[in-house]
Amino acid sequence: MKQLFMFDALREATDEEMKKDSSVFVLGEDVGHYGGSYKVTKDLHTKYGDLRVLDTPIAENSFMGMAIGAAITGLRPIVEGMNMSFLLLAFNQISNNAGMLRYTSGGNFKIPIVIRGPGGVGRQLGAEHSQRLEAYFQAIPGLKIVACSTPYNAKGLLKSAINDDNPVILFEHVLLYNLKEDLPDGEYFLPLDKAELVRSGSQVTIVTYSRMRHHVMQAVDQLIEQGYDPEVIDLISLKPIDIQSIGESLKRTHKLIIVEECMKTGGIAAEIIAQINDIYFDQLDAPIIRLSSEDIPTPYNGTLERATVINPHQIVMAVQNLVKV
């Protein structure tokens, strides 16, 4: 076992796959000589050179198109978004080309591209740098979407994404890069379509993902001291949603809370609720509780910023109120 920061785990995954397969390359703003905004590509330029760790102009639509074209020819590009918010500038390329070309070409083209980078509410990054784009991309056919929450799953998910023949978006949270964890010395891969059962419990199922996993676990520590027994599921896969794992949990607890940093309107939780109502409605003993961010641009002011995002105290209160029902 070795202890790594999340950014080191992502770097190690990239390095391992680049070493094995010469068709894997990285491109994006400042990924080369600078080593990436959050050092995920640090020193890879020295090891692999300019053609495999490629610094691009500030032109997201252009270099995303170049990466998709490279994927069509058989290369395996990893596109780093300096901030996932900037990928809105490449939305057309991601949706109309990355997501659809395998289908519209009748299967003649594969699109083995990974799009990854930091997102979420940081610490006073302002509205335009605090976007949560997972729900924007979730409706696009042909994409796979995952959100890492620990160094362990970050490495395993990225390695699997690089080896997948379909476009994969990997969401990393800007405040989790310095999270540390013991990782196995050997190589490992994690599935791109499975949720993780973080804690077994009997009273209520809490479904979450990304940074909110850690807020949930802070709340769970308090709840256990008070005698509650919550079950916790980290979604990991946002497209497709592993609704079966949530349903199996509901058969044990019959109550559901969804905690997300995404906006409430049209968010990931909204899709989960729709699918639960379609498939597992009879398992519910109470209405589903949805804890989501406020539907406003994220304020720059630190106090107001914190007020827009769900905190552990709100999760504790929601569990207490739901268990009483």
Q: Strand 144-147 to strand 168-173: parallel, antiparallel, or no bridges (unpaired)? A: parallel
User: Which residue is associated with the tokens 């080191």?
Assistant: 8
Asked whether the beta carbons of 30 and 37 are under 8 A apart, the reply is yes
97 DSSP 8-state letter: I
Bridge partners of 181, per DSSP, are: 4
Q: Strand 114-119 to strand 2-5: parallel, antiparallel, or no bridges (unpaired)? A: unpaired
Asked whether the beta carbons of 207 and 262 are under 8 A apart, the reply is no
Catalytic residue among 12, 29, 129, 196: 129
User: Which residue is associated with the tokens 């070309």?
Assistant: 101
Helices (H) and strands (E) in the chain, counts: 12, 14
Q: Please confirm, yes or no, whether 60 is among the known catalytic residues.
A: yes
DSSP, collapsed to helix, strand or coil, labels residue 165 as coil
Catalytic residue among 12, 17, 29, 60: 60
Q: Please confirm whether the linkage preceding 240 is cis (ω < 30° from 0).
A: yes
| Residues with catalytic function | 60, 129
